[in-house]
Amino acid sequence: MSVVKIENLFLGPFTKFNIEIPLNSLVIITGSNNSGKSLLLKVFAGLINTKNKVYYDNKVIKNSNDIAYFDDYVFSFSSVLKNIRYSLECLKIVDDKINKLVRDISKDLKITKLLDSQVKDLGYYEKLKVALASILISNPKLLILDDPCLYLSPMEKEDFMGILEQLRSRGVTVIMSCSSLDEVAYTINSILYVLDNGKIVSSGDALKVLNDDSLLNKVGLELPFMIDLSVKLQYYNLVSKINMSPLGLVMSLWK
């Protein structure tokens, strides 16, 4: 199986740490504070010098353009359009091609109406999507996001996770961290890794990992309400699976 992997990592809380992430997947890494999730993402992104190499499909990643990393938005220009175009302008790409790529990425992220705006006039979620557009326009293979949903509303989280799922379906491997498990409630194809003191204590299909609520509680994580309710109903054999949708849960109970 083709994977992104790090082998035998010694750094911070990590000792002889190994992790393999399937290509073309949407991966969520979670854990309590000081579990090492942000540090691990920086190693994946090549932002920390270690003896460990990041392997992508059994080859060491050498081209930094293959990796896009986001932990906070920083804009170099006041114009939305200029911020999105800038990385391609630096590569001396012809204007017509840049314009097409801008149109495509803006449509994917639902920010076409923002292209003529100034950054200062945008809301937080709009800024997040503009920042994401500015790194995705270079077509990276690996997108790494450190807690991008932290300040988003539930509706914005649902929309954002839908965007990431769309990117995954197009061949981008997405690795993101989250401080809570709310984001998982808006995905159906994600893989969840739970870290605790530099160790993977649980991993696999997100819904299966969420079934072990006792383990999650031990590492300081709380299940989102709908998932928690589903798990409790499942315990009493009232439903057969976790259901994120209130309507879907009601229909399961009705049956």
Q: Which long-range contacts (CB under 8 A, 24 or more apart) does 182-186 make?
A: 182/149, 182/154, 182/157, 182/224, 183/28, 183/149, 183/157, 184/28, 184/210, 184/224, 184/227, 185/224, 185/226, 185/227, 185/244, 186/157, 186/158, 186/161, 186/162, 186/244
- pLDDT greater than 70 at residue 139: yes
- Compute the average pLDDT of residues 105-134: 96
**pTM: predicted TM-score of the whole model, two decimal places:** 0.89
- pLDDT greater than 80 at residue 58: no
Proportion of the chain above pLDDT 70, given as a percent: 96
Lowest mean pLDDT among 43-52, 53-62, 82-91: 53-62
Q: Residue 116 in contact with residue 84, Cβ under 8 Å?
A: no
pLDDT at residue 99, rounded to an integer = 94
pLDDT at residue 34, rounded to an integer = 84
Scanning 184-224, the segments in alpha helix (DSSP H) are: 206-210, 213-218
Domains, the chain, in order of start with CATH, read 3-223 (3.40.50.300)
- pLDDT greater than 80 at residue 77: yes
pLDDT at residue 194, rounded to an integer = 96
Lowest mean pLDDT among 93-107, 113-127, 194-208, 221-235: 221-235
**Tens digits of residue pLDDT in 7-22:** 889 999 999 999 999 9
Q: How far apart are CA 192 and CA 173, in angstroms?
A: 14
- pLDDT greater than 90 at residue 213: no
Helix-, strand-, coil-residue percentages of the chain, each rounded to 5:
40, 25, 35
Between CA 60 and CA 67, with CA 65 as vertex, the angle to 5 degrees is 65
DSSP 86: H
Helix/strand/coil for 33: coil
pLDDT tier for residue 64 given thresholds of 50, 70 and 90 = low
pLDDT tier for residue 154 given thresholds of 50, 70 and 90 = confident
pLDDT at residue 245, rounded to an integer = 67
pLDDT tier for residue 62 given thresholds of 50, 70 and 90 = low
Query: What is the chain's Cα-based Rg?
Result: 19
* Alpha-carbon distance values, 51 to 54, 57, 142, 249 (Å): 10, 19, 20, 48
pLDDT at residue 73, rounded to an integer = 86
Spatial neighbors of 121 by CB under 8 A, at least 6 apart, are: none
Proportion of the chain above pLDDT 90, given as a percent: 54
**Tens digits of residue pLDDT in 236-254:** 888 877 776 677 777 878 8
